[in-house]
Structure 1
Amino acid sequence: MPSLRARIVNLLLPRLGIKRFFSEPDKIPGRIAKMRNTAPARPGAKMHRKFAIKEFASRGFPVITIEPKHGATPGAPHLLYLHGGGYVMDAAVIHWSAIGRLCEALGASATVPLYPLAPESTASATLPAMRSVFAELALRYGAQNITLMGDSAGGGMALALAQILAADGAAMPGSLVLFSPWLDATASGEGQAEIEPRDKMLTCAGLTACGALYAGDLPLTDPQVSPLFGSLKALPPMAVFAGTSDILLPDARRLAVRLDEAGRKDCVYHEYDAMFHVWMLFPVPEGRKALAQAVDFIRAQHKKG
């Protein structure tokens, strides 16, 4: 059974308005237009006390770097974190707190691109931009020393980026971590409709609508948009986290099956009973446990590298 705190958070999730956003696909374009009038959340005062935080805009979109005040621990990995938000929403406060906890636990630095959002940008433009960010970090830190990670849409983007790097024979990150990843933009996985009533954040129709905005001229099944349908060859060790009260659960399960069938013993799958979408970002015991598991996985893969 979920912790009391997790149950309370789950009851309060509808107040965030995310479920309402995804429940009315015809209103999504207008709501996106209104959201663009609000600046993305930035790291708060607590993070500034612990980390040296810088923001760069030379790429045409903000890229935020986070480093412990006294410098990263020697030999620590560097995190490239791609935030979720259905490809149409900016990073939220909970993203920064979770990234801060990861950096603190690992003694690591991190790069967080506030990447161009749909519909203003689509996968055909956003993924090359993220590849450019990764290439720059690979030169600075060494590709093997980078953990590529993301939640929800950011998790899908992270996997798609890794697939593109692998297809091109490029240097790969040392590990890949996916939190509640959105891997199939068609939102047609078996069981998703049955899960939807207990998911307090997402709907199938809303996901498909946002997926179409991000896809642009690409079909929703294109691996750039739905990396579940892409190749898993030559990918780095991977940790995947999913909850059974999340309509993206079937995406993660299908990925786990494919990895198992490929004999990928270096990949791990964590499924939490009755946990909601991106619970690992929230201040609940299960969230702390998931982040600790991610830290252990990253640390183990980094030592191997």
Structure 2
Amino acid sequence: MVSVRARMFEFVLPLLGIKRFFSQPDRMDQRIAKMRRAKSPRPGKSAHREFAIREDSSRGYSLVTLEPLERGDVSGIHLLYFHGGGYVMDIAALHWEAIVELCRQAGMSASVPIYPLAPEVTVQTTLPAMRALYDELAQQHGAENIAIAGDSAGGGMALALAQDLARDGIAMPGSLTLFSPWVDASASGEGMSDIDPYDKMLSPQGLEACGLRYAGGLELQDTRLSPLFGDLANLPPTSVFVGTRDILLVDARRLRERMGAAGSPPELYREADRMQHVWMILPIPEGKAALRDAATFIKSAHAGTAT
């Protein structure tokens, strides 16, 4: 049964203009320029009551770190979270609320990079910068204690980073959590057009336009942009969450299939009926339940008990 609040959000989401942004790629650069003039949000006041929050810009981008003030329930897990937004949009207030809730549920600290956005900066710069950040955090916390997570484009970045680590034989994180992951920058998956009328946020043509801006001249099938086509073996314990009214359902299903063929299927795959894109971070009962499930998965994976 879909909650009343989730049904209400189906009506509210179009009013936010996200679908319009993705449905009119010819106006995308103009709208991106307008977005750049907006202030980048940070964790709300309530988060400061539970976490020591610091921001450091010494790496060429801002890195926000959250550390629980109450030490009693700290798990020792450190979350590295990549926000979504088609690689062209800044982090949103809803991201911070979800990150704080994940940390609260799993007793985690967190690092959240406000990574450089496309088209000003492309994958050739951004992904190596995130790899350098991972290397730094792994040295500080221990690779096995790092939980990588991301939503939408951030999910694609998280998977591409994990593949980069596996390719180089680097110690892997303890878990990988993907919310509505965008793992094919070309938006070429069969069936997207069938879901498009029900998706209140994304459109295939807009995803492709964002992919081109992030690519910086690379082919859209390049695995740094489209990790769906990369090596999916030897990944850490992985969970995938997606909704059936999200055009990225196509990506999630292909990812599950290809991971299975590589011998390492997701240890948790959650496909929620009638849920929209990134429903896990929306303030709806289903979203709150998904964050609880993700936190439980992360704790189990880091304890070596994920199934």
Q: Structure 1 counterpart of 2:278, which letter? A: V
How far is the alpha carbon of 1:289 from its aligned partner? 1.4
Q: Which residue in 2 is equivalent to 1:289?
A: 289
Corresponding pairs, count: 305
Q: Provide Cα deviations, 1:34-78, integer angstroms capped at 9, x if missing partner.
A: 111112111111111211100000011100001111347454310
| Deviation of the 1:227 alpha carbon | 0.6
Match of 2:213?
213
Asked whether the 8 Å contact 2:233–2:264 carries over to 1, the reply is no
CA displacement at 1:266 relative to structure 2: 6.0
Query: Counterpart of 1:47 in 2: which secondary structure?
Result: helix
* Deviation (angstroms), 1:10: 1.4
Amino acid at match of 1:278: V
Name structure 2 gaps, 5 residues minimum. none
Tell me what 1:193 maps to.
Answer: 193
* 1:172 corresponds to 2:172: yes
User: Per-residue CA shift, 1:241-297, capped at 9, x if unaligned?
Assistant: 110000000000001111222332662211001100000101111111111111111
State the match for 2:91 in structure 1. Answer: 91
Alignment partner, residue 234 of structure 1 = 234
For 2:2 and 2:189, how far apart are their aligned partners in 1? 25
Task: Let me know the Cα RMSD of the aligned residues.
Answer: 1.2
Aligned to 2:36: 36
**Partner SS for 1:304:** coil
Q: Deviations over 1:124-164 (max 9, x none)?
A: 10000000111110011000100000000000000000000
Q: What amino acid maps onto 1:35 in structure 2?
A: M
Q: Which residue of the partner structure matches residue 140 of structure 1?
A: 140
Q: Which residue of 2 aligns with 1:155?
A: 155
What do residues 7-35 of structure 1 show as CA deviations (whole Å, max 9, x unaligned)?
A: 10111001111011111101101111111
1:1-305 correspondence to structure 2 within 5 Å? 1-71=1-71, 73-264=73-264, 267-304=267-304
State the alpha-carbon separation in 2 of the partners of residues 227 and 259 from structure 1. Answer: 11
Q: Retained in 1: the 8 A contact 2:50–2:70?
A: no
SS at match of 1:27: helix
Whole-Å separation in 2 of the counterparts to 1:161 and 1:50: 29
Alpha-carbon distance in structure 1 between the residues aligned to 2:134 and 2:262: 26
Where does the alignment leave 5 or more consecutive residues of structure 1 unmatched?
Answer: none
Identity %: 58
Q: Which secondary structure state, in structure 2, belongs to the residue aligned with residue 239 of structure 1?
A: strand
Distance 1:79 1:160, change over 3 A: same
Contact 1:147–1:175 under 8 Å retained in 2: yes
Specify the code of the residue in structure 2 equivalent to 1:159: L
Amino acid of the structure 2 residue aligned with 1:88:
V
Whether the 8 Å contact between 2:232 and 2:264 is mirrored in structure 1 is no
Letter in 2 for 1:223: T
The answer as to whether partners of 1:72 and 1:109 remain within 8 angstroms in 2 is no
Rate the CA distance shift 1:301–1:280 in 2: closer, same or farther, 3 A. Answer: same
TM-score (norm 2): 0.97
Deviates more, 1:249-258 or 1:261-270: 261-270
Distance 2:205 2:266 in 1: 34
Alpha-carbon distance in structure 1 between the residues aligned to 2:106 and 2:161:
23
The CA deviation at 1:232 is 0.8
Structure 1 pair 72–21 and aligned structure 2 pair: CA distance change class (3 A): farther
- What is the CA distance between 1:166 and its match in structure 2? 0.5
CA distance in 1, matches of 2:165, 2:265: 21
1:259–1:267 contact (8 Å) kept in structure 2: no
* Kept after mapping to 1: 8 A contact 2:179/2:280: yes
TM-score by length of 1: 0.97
Letter in 1 for 2:152: S
